[in-house]
Chain A
Amino acid sequence: KAGVTQTPRYLIKTRGQQVTLSCSPISGHRSVSWYQQTPGQGLQFLFEYFSETQRNKGNFPGRFSGRQFSNSRSEMNVSTLELGDSALYLCASSLVNGVGELFFGEGSRLTVL
């Protein structure tokens, strides 16, 4: 059974650009959640989706957005990148939000120059 796949694994952008990150959950999982990890703030919740609906959003500016497709794959987008957006972005999938184990991807490491 394939795990959670995140692409790209590494990327470098410059300030002002925008970026799109992709997450493919484990087959059969309908819930996808996104987290940001930085050395200063640690792990923080970004958003979660179930059946194409955003269930919750963390305390991040509107530059951070996401969506989930009918096949449960999810994307997140960050527009007008700032230096502080440099981070490891992790997604996780579960069968249903809050029920059972979370399965994490390896993350997408974003560097903003």
Chain B
Amino acid sequence: KNEVEQSPQNLTAQEGEFITINCSYSVGISALHWLQQHPGGGIVSLFMLSSGKKKHGRLIATINIQEKHSSLHITASHPRDSAVYICAVARSYNTDKLIFGTGTRLQVFP
């Protein structure tokens, strides 16, 4: 069993829909990252969380440390949100040694 699990693996949505991507982990962590990867490979960091909730534009990320679970929400989805979303965790402080989930491929159609 992977230490970081994401669901769903694939997600299709219509423009404007509310989207949720889930991440569960089985190890103790110091931080959780949400990353976005577009075709071609480039990765953009969306959020780094250690507790609570963060919001940036139409993106919201939450984490529940006790339940070892995080969610990434996209409100009013748009075709440009189409990408692979990756959850990754750091097991200790002061490190960028991350354990990655397998990613969620999102396609948003107009």
Measured CB to CB, the residues of A under 8 A from B are 31, 33, 35, 37, 42-45, 48, 55-56, 58, 88, 90, 92, 94, 96-107, 109
**Given A43-B88, A101-B48, A96 and B94 touching (CB < 8 A)?**
yes
A101: which B residues are within 8 A, CB to CB?
Answer: 45, 48
Whole-angstrom distance between the Cβ of A25 and the nearest chain B Cβ: 12
Q: Are A103 and B97 in contact (CB under 8 A)?
A: no
* CB 8 Å contact bits of B28-47 with A (1 = contact, 0 = none): 00110101000011111100
Tell whether, in the assembled complex, residue A31 and residue B44 are in contact, meaning their CB atoms are under 8 Å apart: no
Q: Are A107 and B42 in contact (CB under 8 A)?
A: yes
10 further A-B contacts with Cβ under 8 Å, apart from A56-B97, A107-B41, are: A33-B96, A42-B100, A55-B95, A88-B41, A94-B96, A98-B30, A98-B92, A99-B94, A102-B33, A105-B42
Point out the residues of chain B lying under 8 angstroms from A37, CB to CB. Answer: 41
Q: Is the CB of A43 within 8 A of B45?
A: no
CA distance A44 to B102 in the complex (A): 10
- Say yes or no: is B99 at the interface (Cβ < 8 Å to chain A): yes
Interface residue count on the B side (C-beta < 8 Å): 26
B41 touches A98 (CB 8 A): no
Residues of chain A contacted by B30 (CB below 8 angstroms): 98
Are the CB atoms of B94 and A109 closer together than 8 Å?
no
**How long is the Cα–Cα vector from A35 to B43 in the complex, in angstroms?**
11
Which of B42, B88, B90 has most chain A Cβ within 10 Å?
Answer: B42
Pair B93/A90 contact, Cβ less than 8 Å: no
Query: If A90-B43, A107-B42 touch, does A48 touch B95 (CB 8 Å cutoff)?
Result: yes
Q: Across the interface, name the chain A residue whose C-beta is closest to B31.
A: A98
- Could you say which residues of chain B place their CB within 8 Å of the CB of A90? 41, 43
Q: When chains A and B are docked, how far (Å) is the Cα of A6 from the Cα of B75?
A: 33
Instruction: Establish whether residues A45 and B45, one from each chain, have CB atoms under 8 Å apart when the complex forms.
Output: no
Cα(A105)–Cα(B41), bound, Å: 9
Provide the bound-state CA to CA distance between A31 and B95, in Å: 9
The answer to whether A98 and B96 touch across the interface, beta carbons within 8 angstroms, is yes
Complex interface residues of chain B between 42 and 75 (CB less than 8 A to chain A)? 42-45, 48
